[in-house]
Amino acid sequence: MVLFPFFEDIEGKRIAIIGGGYAAKEKFFKLYRFTHNLTIVAPEMVFAVPQDVEVKKKIFAAPDAEGIDIAIIATDNDTSDRFACQLCKNKGIRVHVVGHLEMSDFDFPELSKKGDLVVGVTTGDKSPAASAYVRGEVDKMIPDCMEAVIKRLSEASSLLDGVVEDEKQRSNVLGMMFDYLIEKNNEVADEEFWAEAERRAAGMKINSIWDK
């Protein structure tokens, strides 16, 4: 497979996790950080799930595929994995089969998430240990203030739209503001934040944009 890291909107999509072992547990708790629109199909489970998640304690069969958009297959049994994979593909359901990337339609990466910042890491199933290591290093690199900084810059970006027409200038101002917030761990009052932003923007001949 040639893997390119597209990021997909899964809002409104129904995702099934087929299996109830430790591999299914790992995938479930990663997905649960993004969506609660999940169904687990397994005769037995080694983990408990929140009440807002549908659980079918049974062997996966054709009726369980109805209404499913994406399936994560992790039964810990090669024959059961292949059966579920083929059943899903026959119904046009995209699948990821844990441990069998060659059977899958997409990879399920290691994930680092801090608010709206999401980083995916994969080695194409060649070394899950390497992916997990890099994801751990990324987790340590991301400051705790990142979620708040992203929200603040999103608001600033909305203010800049239509005020600074040059896209490159607008991007440069936002980049400087990002550096400033990270340097200060986002511990900056709004008045100080905008004053510093205008001071830096002034060097680019953008004057008094915050009052417009």
**What per-residue confidence (pLDDT) applies to 163?**
67
Shared domain check, 19 and 97: yes
Shared domain check, 123 and 181: no
Question: Distance between CA 72 and CA 128 in Å, rounded?
Answer: 17
Instruction: With respect to residue 166, please indicate whether it lies within any of the assigned structural domains.
Output: yes
Shared domain check, 94 and 24: yes
Between the alpha carbon of residue 179 and those of residues 129, 145, 199, the distances in Å are: 32, 12, 14
Shared domain check, 57 and 89: yes
Instruction: With respect to residue 130, please indicate whether it lies within any of the assigned structural domains.
Output: yes
Between the alpha carbon of residue 155 and those of residues 82, 119, 160, 163, the distances in Å are: 48, 22, 9, 14
Q: In this structure, which amino acid lies at residue 12?
A: G
Shared domain check, 102 and 27: yes
83: nearest Cα among 67, 63, 60: 60
| Domain around 136 | 111-142
Q: Which residues of the chain have pLDDT under 50?
A: 207-212
Q: What is the number of structural domains in the chain?
A: 3
Shared domain check, 103 and 33: yes
End position of a domain, from candidates 58, 89, 108? 108
Shared domain check, 97 and 134: no
**What per-residue confidence (pLDDT) applies to 210?**
47
Strand 54-56 relative to strand 38-41: parallel, antiparallel, unpaired?
Answer: parallel
**What per-residue confidence (pLDDT) applies to 212?**
44
What angle do the packed helices 167-183 and 190-202 form, to 10 degrees? 130
Shared domain check, 191 and 130: no
Query: Coil, strand or helix: which one is 65?
Result: helix
Q: Find tokens 């049974």 and name the residue.
A: 58
Shared domain check, 134 and 76: no
Q: What tokens appear for 209 in the block?
A: 């944009």
Instruction: With respect to residue 6, please indicate whether it lies within any of the assigned structural domains.
Output: no
Going edge to edge, which strands form the sheet with 38-41?
54-56, 38-41, 15-18, 70-73, 94-97
Shared domain check, 95 and 55: yes
Buried b (16+ CB within 10 A) or exposed e, 134-171: bbeebeeeeeebbbebbebbeebeeebeeebeeeeebe
Shared domain check, 117 and 97: no
End position of a domain, from candidates 108, 130, 154? 108
Shared domain check, 121 and 69: no
Instruction: With respect to residue 210, please indicate whether it lies within any of the assigned structural domains.
Output: no
- Cβ neighbors of 53 (< 8 A, separation 6 or more) are 28, 32, 36, 38, 39, 40
